[in-house]
Amino acid sequence: MVYGMTSENLTMTAKNELAPSGQLRAGMNLGNTLFTGKDASGQLQGVSVDLMQALAQRLGVPLQMVVYDQPGQVADDAVRGAWDVAILAIEKTRAKTIAFSPAMTEIEAGYVVRPNSHLQRVDQVDAPGVKIAAPTKAGYELYLSSALEHATLVRTANFAESMAVFNQGGVDVLAGLKPNLIDAMGRLPGGQLLDGNFMVINHGLATPLGLNAANEYLRHFVQEMIASGFIARSIEQHRIIGLKAIAA
């Protein structure tokens, strides 16, 4: 992918905040395969890689990828200064320690139930006695933690563990990003994907709080990435189904 980027609006303060070590340390989350994956040789690839390469090129600094297994690990490391920029779901709990750019993508989150479940609609799931599996600190788990009024949330280490708990009968409902749920249907015997979604998740570029110049620069950067069609082309190039670029 070619990055026809300019350096407009890049102040020295913004550059120093975004790359204080002289390189851009990008927090990469392997837990969200819609953004980050590996090719046959084990090299990272995906929309997140394209965006971080473009940003590093714009800044004129080398790119260092700091790899994590789950999004919660990325978010937790914001206060430790382990990375400079990451792609994370925009969420109010995370906003206590993380600043976000404008939304650049959207993904639906939904539910899978068992055959013959009495739950036939998304709006029926939040009911007494219903147990829902979701990975700890995933964007949609954080949302469900505050939004659910009656159902019980069963937190797991990752999406694979959520599927295992669902298949073993430990919960009534499996929550997840709809593209991941659709991809997993062959591993969920008899699973039924409910129509609709319980939320739409937006992702943005994230930095630790307090980096005002960096945040302002990333706001312009994301707006340009959207307007130029860069994000939409990256999604298409990597053939990611279910991840949508925000409309310009």
DSSP codes of every residue in 145-165: HHH-SSSEEEEESSHHHHHHH
Q: Distance (Å, rounded) from C-alpha 18 to C-alpha 26? A: 10
Contacts of 16 (CB under 8 A, 6+ apart): none
Q: How far apart are CA 54 and CA 50, in angstroms?
A: 6
Determine the Cα–Cα distance for residues 35 and 124; give it in Å rounded to an integer.
30
Tens of pLDDT, residue by residue over 103-143, are 999 999 999 999 889 999 999 999 999 999 999 999 999 99
pLDDT digits (tens, 9 = 90+) for 7-42: 556 899 999 999 999 999 999 999 999 999 999 999
Go through the domains of the chain in sequence order and give each one's CATH number. 12-105+202-245 (3.40.190.10), 106-199 (3.40.190.10)
State how far the alpha carbon of 159 is from the alpha carbons of 30, 96, 133, 134, 165, in Å. Answer: 12, 25, 9, 7, 10
Question: Which is higher by pLDDT, 9 or 228?
Answer: 228
Whether residue 5 is predicted with pLDDT greater than 50 in this model: the reply is no
Task: Give me the numbers of helices (H) and strands (E) for the chain, helices first please.
Answer: 8, 13
Helical residues (DSSP H) of 100-211, grouped into ranges: 139-147, 159-167, 178-184
**What sign has the CA pseudo-torsion 97, 52, 107, 177?**
negative
